[in-house]
Structure 1
Amino acid sequence: MGHLRVGVAVLTMGNRPDELRELLRSVAEQSVPAARIVVVGNGAPLPPLPDGVTGIELDDNLGVSGGRNVALRELQEAGDVDLVVDLDDDGLLVSTDVFERLSEMYREDPGLGIVSFRIADERGRTQRRHVPRLRAGDPERGGLVTTFLGGGHALSVPMLKQTGGWPDEFFYAHEETDLAWRALDAGWRIRYAPELVLQHPWTAPTRHAVYHRMVARNRVWLAKRHLPALLVPAYLGVWAGLTVARSRSLTGMRAWAGGFVEGVRTPCGERRPMRWRTVWWMTRLGRPPVI
């Protein structure tokens, strides 16, 4: 049997041309070549791209969700890809067999919906926040999880046809969790595969007012969209308590509170609460949807 066909999607703001060029070089060196590669300039012009790479320049910044959906539609409309691989524009595939391994994983498990890569810097270090589980002490321990990393992952096209793509309304923050919860509720599995490495510079998360507002607003939207009514106050209460305990900035807390209120007051798309069977499955995997 042949390998599954891989479509690659890269979102860029046009400010990392050298890193983007190196990323595309690492994609081109894969032992199983990508069937299609799409680079989206999210409200920014694109640098020159290699032959065979489709470039799409957007007039406006549509955020992570909106920009990825543009790439996703381009790949799906072509009709010749089985997997979509999203990669950060400043990442690097350090191994040439990533697509080959992905193809084997999905062939061995037809119910596999999402594969999350391990993100590591040039020294092999993985930040705790880049491990998609609560117990993050060993970043090289793989297995089934309840969410995934936005910087490097693979999505099953059959899964996307069932669940839909990224939540445009979110712009950025928690868009991976929204898609993950929909996938789990539809019966798909999510696997963290630390052997698939995306090399990425060691960075600290940006902590500005817009960040705090988006994080709070989208956290409320997640609950409103996907949680059974009984779990909504528990989920939001836990995260409000954690935010207060961790906060070191009065300005950040004010922005967070404003985002929380915005999330409560504003629409967030259709509400489809997950089944209690999904809640139980997530609990068995070590992360019940209250934290």
Structure 2
Amino acid sequence: MTPTASPLSAPPLSAPPPPSLPDGFTVLLGRRVRIADGGRALVGGSPTRVLYLTPAGAALIVDRRIRVTDAASRGLADRLLEAGMADPVLETLPTVDEADVTFVVPVFGRPAALDRLLTSIGADSTVIVVDDVSPDRAEIMDVAAAHGARFLPLDVNGGPARARNEGLRQVTTPFVAFVDSDIVVDRGATSVLLRHFADPRVAVAAPRVLGLRGETGLNWIGRYEEARSSLDLGIHPATVRPRSPVSWVPGAFLVARVDAIGEGFSAEMREGEDVDFVWRLAERGWRIRFEPEATVWHEHRQTVRDWLGRKAFYGSSAHPLSVRHPKDIAPAVFSPWTLGVSAALLAQRRWSIPVALGISAAAAWRIARRLGRSEHPARVSIRLTSAGVLAAISQTMALFVRHWWPATVLAAVFSRRARRALIASSLLDAALEYRRTRPDLDPVRFAVARRLDDLAYGAGVWFSALRGRSVRALLPDVRRRG
């Protein structure tokens, strides 16, 4: 048996090697990155920044791409990857033999799902099935044997993190794929993800997780999840790190470099262990890639009770993560001026819009002063300020309807302004998400599902905070610099 770890313990991780992208490695500027000043400046990244280039550096960018051929192009490509301003071009990355991967499958029951998963992985793969004291262990063992997988039974139920770690100890290949039993793997997904390890600083690569359509199809909850699943992180590749557009990847399917991840997950965590795993790697300097060109399918919950329970479970990871990562768990991030804009608009007074505009103008002026090397500092600062205002409004709406809803509902009972803000946030948030995701669902049921999603997740966050006797996971972060 594994010794019980302390609440704040975490398995040690290796340090990443120095940047050393191979020749031919090509990166493409992100869709939100703007080329300014005749090619001598790049605006974008996460967090948003302005990167000034020398004439020689600007010449390395051809059709928004940088191909590694020498030390200069290698340095620029690496810097853009680190800043979240570029993504690798898959077809330029070398392939890796899938024989170098061992699949580790933590299991608790569901032998039929395990059979489906192992069929999708294929008979030629090395698989370790780790049974976490399933009530139907004999059936699990029979399924593993039928597919030629190694069966590793545990004596004590310790949760998926501990089960993955036990499987990891048996891995002898350079790479490991952690995959949950309710997943179906696309045949080409693993090979696509392995290409990212041409970058020696990549520790983990994750695919896009889509909803699995069964023989009976999807009900309205299933169709909502198909468009707005917590596990589906979108259609655009990204560098994964805290407080970035893609700040985590689910543990449902992860390919990892064994030498990078040490002993693996924090075994005592039963929720949020995948987020903790990724964030600890990012803190050490490793890169984590989200790659939507690789896809797997997940069996989403479709009954209201199971679905809401899962959403609340996701929210319940907030406090454990706040203890381990207090600087990264904030539900929203503001600068003082964006906080001032939000506060002015929430006041709903005659002076609200003029004051918000005045704060924004002052912020644009200050940003422009810091862009002295730009040819058009005012133009760039206006774009950056506008983006900041929109982000602040979006985050404020999310706080009202998701993370803070118990408090905002209570405030709405006594305050007309709070009631108006809550109603407006609920409707506008649903409308914007409907337009963005274009689900196979009518607007009314989508809006209902959207609000139920937020209510369940927020309830999980509050329960977690009350249980941990800390409101840290509920507090926004106000950055005074950056």
Aligned twin of 2:200: 110
Please state how far the C-alpha of 1:175 moved relative to its aligned partner: 0.9
1:66 paired with 2:162, answer: yes
Please state how far the C-alpha of 1:86 moved relative to its aligned partner: 1.1
Structure 1 residue identity aligned to 2:317: V
**Structure 2 residues not aligned, in runs of 5+:** 1-94, 214-222, 242-247, 334-397, 406-453, 473-480
Aligned twin of 1:203: 301
Aligned twin of 2:292: 194
User: Is contact 2:192-2:293 (8 Å) kept?
Assistant: no
More helix by share: 2
d(CA) in 1 for partners of 2:208 and 2:116? 19
Aligned twin of 1:55: 151
TM-score by length of 2: 0.44
Please state how far the C-alpha of 1:58 moved relative to its aligned partner: 1.8
Query: C-alpha offsets along residues 89-135 of structure 1, whole Å, 9 cap, x if unaligned?
Result: 021113x22332233221x2121111111111235945341244xxx
- More RCO (CA 8 Å, sep 6+): 1
Q: RMSD of the TM alignment (CA)?
A: 3.5
Aligned twin of 1:135: none
User: CA distance change for structure 1 residues 89 and 263 in 2, over 3 Å: closer, same or farther?
Assistant: farther
Aligned to 1:117, what secondary structure does the other structure show?
strand
Aligned twin of 1:119: 209
Aligned to 2:300, what secondary structure does the other structure show?
coil
Rg larger in 1 or in 2? 2
d(CA) in 2 for partners of 1:263 and 1:43? 35
How does 1:21-40 map onto structure 2 within 5 Å? Answer: 21-28=115-122, 33-34=124-125, 36-40=126-130
Query: 182, 189, 195: which is aligned to 1:90?
Result: 182
User: Is contact 1:115-1:191 (8 Å) kept?
Assistant: yes
Aligned to 1:218, what secondary structure does the other structure show?
helix
Aligned twin of 1:157: 258
Aligned twin of 1:141: 236
**Structure 1 residues not aligned, in runs of 5+:** 133-138, 265-279, 284-291
1:255 paired with 2:463, answer: yes
d(CA) in 2 for partners of 1:142 and 1:250? 28
d(CA) in 2 for partners of 1:156 and 1:25? 24
Aligned twin of 1:244: 404
User: Is contact 2:265-2:273 (8 Å) kept?
Assistant: yes
Structure 1 residue identity aligned to 2:252: G
Query: 193, 208, 215: which is aligned to 2:317?
Result: 215
Please state how far the C-alpha of 1:213 moved relative to its aligned partner: 8.5
d(CA) in 1 for partners of 2:168 and 2:175? 10
d(CA) in 2 for partners of 1:249 and 1:184? 25
Identical-residue share of aligned pairs (%)? 21
TM-score by length of 1: 0.69
Q: Report how many residues are paired.
A: 239
Aligned to 2:469, what secondary structure does the other structure show?
helix
User: CA distance change for structure 1 residues 240 and 42 in 2, over 3 Å: closer, same or farther?
Assistant: farther
d(CA) in 1 for partners of 2:191 and 2:458? 48
